[in-house]
Amino acid sequence: MNDFSELEDQLRKLRPAQPSADLVTRIERALAEETSTPTAAVLPRERRFQFNWLSLGLGLAAAAALFLFAFIRLQQPATKAPNVASTSPGPVTATNAGGQFVPAGLTQVVYHTRDEGLHFPTSSSEPMRRVRSQTRDTLQWKNPKTGATLRISYPREEVSLVPVTGQ
């Protein structure tokens, strides 16, 4: 860099031309205005509204997919259940005191049953067969006015002892 030090000194001696006196005034005026000021030669670029079609399309597609998924889930409460043990049309209790929702159904789906063999419970002198079953219960309420539905679903495991009849 030492090779250029003399040249750099010569360059620094060159004085840039001073801006016109009214430049400061023009800037002051522009800053004082509420919005940016167009100048005689430089017009600020207009901010055009750029519609992003890709984002809109993706958003609509996602919304449609969500709606379709929710619709299918509502329309198929238990039809694909492998094994329906029992179904009763009316659940036992209402869901809210206002009575807007009325019971619409109770579904119990037994999706797994296992025979665990003979056991001798302490309370019984006879052997009993122990059967373990796994069930999913679904309770559903419906608002007749709005058509809204409310579903509660929970898993349940049940162990039952079946007396063995002596043959």
Partner 1 sequence: MENVVTDENWKTCFCQLAPGLVLFARQWARSSADAEDIVQEAFVRFWRKQHDVSNRGLLYATVRSIALDFLRRDSRRARRESTAMSDVDQSVAPAFEIEDDAQRALVAALDHLPTEQREVLVMKIWSDLTFAEIASALEISQNTAASRYRYALAALKKNLATT
Catalog residues that contact partner 1 under the rule CB under 8 A: 1, 3-4, 7-8, 10-20, 23-24, 26-28, 30-32, 36-37, 39-45
Q: Are 128 and 158 in contact (CB under 8 A)?
A: no
Query: Who's near 161: CB < 8 A, 6+ residues apart?
Result: 119, 121, 128, 129, 130, 131
Pick 13 or 80: Cβ nearer partner 1: 13
- Taking the complex as a whole, the smallest distance from the CB of residue 49 to partner 1 amounts, in Å, to 19
CB of 24 or CB of 118, closer to partner 1: 24
Instruction: Rank residues 43 and 97 by Cβ distance to partner 1 and give the closer one.
Output: 43
Q: CA dist 2 to 5, 12, 55, 148, Å? A: 5, 15, 57, 84
Residue 22 or residue 126: which is nearer to partner 1 going by CB?
22
**Is 56 exposed, middle or buried (CB count within 10 Å of its CB: 0-12, 13-18, 19+)?**
exposed
Cβ atoms 138, 152 nearer than 8 A: yes
Nearest approach, Cβ of residue 29 and partner 1 (Å)? 10
Residue placing its CB nearer to partner 1 in the complex, 8 or 158: 8
Q: Closest distance between partner 1 and the C-beta of residue 17, in Å?
A: 4
Closest distance between partner 1 and the C-beta of residue 51, in Å? 23
- Min dist CB 8 to partner 1, Å, is 7
Q: Nearest 5°: phi and psi at 106?
A: -135, 130
- Give yes or no for a contact between 132 and 113, defined as CB atoms under 8 angstroms apart: yes
